[in-house]
Structure formats: structure tokens, C-alpha cells
Amino acid sequence: MIQITILGSGTCVPTKRRGTPGIAIRSKSSWVLVDGGSGTLSRMASAGIDYTAVDYLLYTHIHPDHTLDLISLLFAMNYTPGYERDRALDIIGPRGFKKFFEDLSRPYPWIRPKSFPMDVMEVTDEYFSVGYLGVQAAEVNHGDLPSVAYRFTNDAETMVISGDTEFCDEIVDLSRKTDLLLCEASFPTDEFDTQMHLSASLAGRVACLAQVKNLALYHFYPVCDEYDMKVLCAKEYDGRIIITEDLMELEINQKTLRVINNRTHP
Ligand SMILES: [Zn+2]
Ligand SMILES: [Zn+2]
């Protein structure tokens, strides 16, 4: 079983409905966090996810809407009164992430771990594991910025998180026959600037070419909410399409996808 919580389904543009991208994946008693911009930590609190139980932080790329709460999270892990972390923390990101972290920790020395072992690692196309989940990384195209998508596998199920990407073979190949593709759809149609991103129809094309079993869309700029994203996406993909919301929970169990709940953030 793979359980995920959408912490933020939006972008850098703040709206009441959609926060910055962040996805939490349950790994038995701990959590894997994939991306986390400003506000992700408070969305975790709203979702009832204990930030001290996060053991793996995966980043798709360093754009601020995907990384800003790395600072907040590490600061909280170091300076929560009465809490002293001893469990290890692994941070994984694309090429350049080690330097990014070193650079960040100069003005913010408080993010260097006080009491716990921490590794910062870079991946391109490696296979590694986070808890009981195997992870295949693949570099995708997001302008000049090194960016990766991740494919998660347990013994039975698979799920891909696209991060930010334009249409490219790499995201299609990584997503092939996966049970769930959580795919960015920054814009409604290709009339918008999809140079570094996907539209609903392009996300549908990725899902169709990759023959994925279920497609969930996220990373919506506000204009997306003025369109019927599902209808636009369904022009290219005839499988199940889910328009994610903040705090939506998804579960893949015995290869069947269930939307556990769909709480609307106040
Ligand atoms: Zn983004
Ligand atoms: Zn980006």
C-alpha cells in the first residue's frame, strides 16, 4: 500500500485554495516529504502529520515554491523546546543540491543539524530506497535548472511524482504503466506558455503514452481553476483523472487507487 497526502496543489502564487507544492508519503511509522515550499509545514500540521516523523526529504528542484520550508523544517527539528532529534535525516535532490544546501546554511546556520545525523545527496538517474519504498529518479526538462522526477515502488504498487517538467521522453519513460502518475499541470491549455511546464492536455498526453492506470494533476496556477481541467486532460487520456486539492489523501492498495478524503482547507 502507498499512502500520500497532497499538502499543496498550487504554485508560487498564493491563493486560499492552493498552497505551494508538497507531498507527504507514509512509510510505516515515518514520512517521506517530496518538495515543500512556503506553508508546507503548516499544511502538515493541518493534515495531522508530525514533522518530527519525517525521515526523508526529496526535492525535485530548487525553485523556492518547492524548497522554502526546508529551512522552516530543519529549524523546527533543531529548536523545538523539549525535543532533541536523534533519528537520521536523509535529504535527496538533483545535481547542485549539496551546494544549494551549503549556500543556504551560511546565512541560516540554524539549519545545520544540532543533534542528529544528516546526509545530503544528489541524484540524476539512480535507484535508491527511502524506508520500505524503492525510488527511481530520472532527470526531466525544466529549463536550465537540474530537475528530477521520482518513481516510488513497494512490492506491489508504483507511483510517479513529476515535479516540474515540460513535455519530454524522460517523464513518459519513468511513468510507464505506473499505478498513479501525480503530474504537474501548470496551465489549462497549450496556448499558455508551456515551455518549462505542462498543460492539462500535455499531462494527459504523458499519461496516455505511458499507459498509466491513474492520473492525478497538481501544481496549478490560479488560472487553472477557471477551466475544467479534467475535461481538457481527458481529450488526451481516457483513464481516471483526479484534480487534487490541498490535504487530499490518496491510497494505492492492491493496485487500486482510492481517494481517502478530500478535506477542504479553511
Ligand atoms: Zn513549481
Ligand atoms: Zn519549478
Looking at the domain assignment, is residue 52 inside a domain?
yes
Looking at the domain assignment, is residue 175 inside a domain?
yes
Give me ligand 1 centre to Cα 192, in Å. Answer: 16
Give me ligand 2 centre to Cα 61, in Å. Answer: 7
pLDDT band at 60 (very low <50, low <70, confident <90, very high): very high
89-142: pLDDT as tens digits: 999 999 999 999 999 999 999 999 999 999 999 999 999 999 999 999 999 999
* Res. 262: pLDDT tops 70: no
pLDDT at 29: 84
229-253: pLDDT as tens digits: 999 999 999 999 999 999 999 999 9
Give me ligand 1 centre to Cα 19, in Å. Answer: 11
Give me ligand 1 centre to Cα 85, in Å. Answer: 30
Give me ligand 2 centre to Cα 199, in Å. Answer: 14
Looking at the domain assignment, is residue 265 inside a domain?
no
Which of 228, 222, 266 lies closest to 247 in space, CA to CA?
A: 266
* Res. 51: pLDDT tops 60: yes
Looking at the domain assignment, is residue 190 inside a domain?
yes
Number of domains in the chain: 1
40-47 helix and 69-79 helix, angle to the nearest 10 degrees: 60
pLDDT band at 265 (very low <50, low <70, confident <90, very high): very low
Residues with CB under 5 A from ligand 1 (ion): 65, 164
Looking at the domain assignment, is residue 20 inside a domain?
yes
Q: Domain containing 166 — which CATH number?
A: 3.60.15.10
Ligand sitting nearest the alpha carbon of 62: 2
pLDDT at 260: 85
What whole-number distance in Å separates Cα of residue 26 and Cα of residue 107? Answer: 32
Looking at the domain assignment, is residue 174 inside a domain?
yes
142-147 mean pLDDT: 97
pLDDT at 263: 56
Its domain, for residue 171, covers 2-260
Give me ligand 2 centre to Cα 86, in Å. Answer: 32
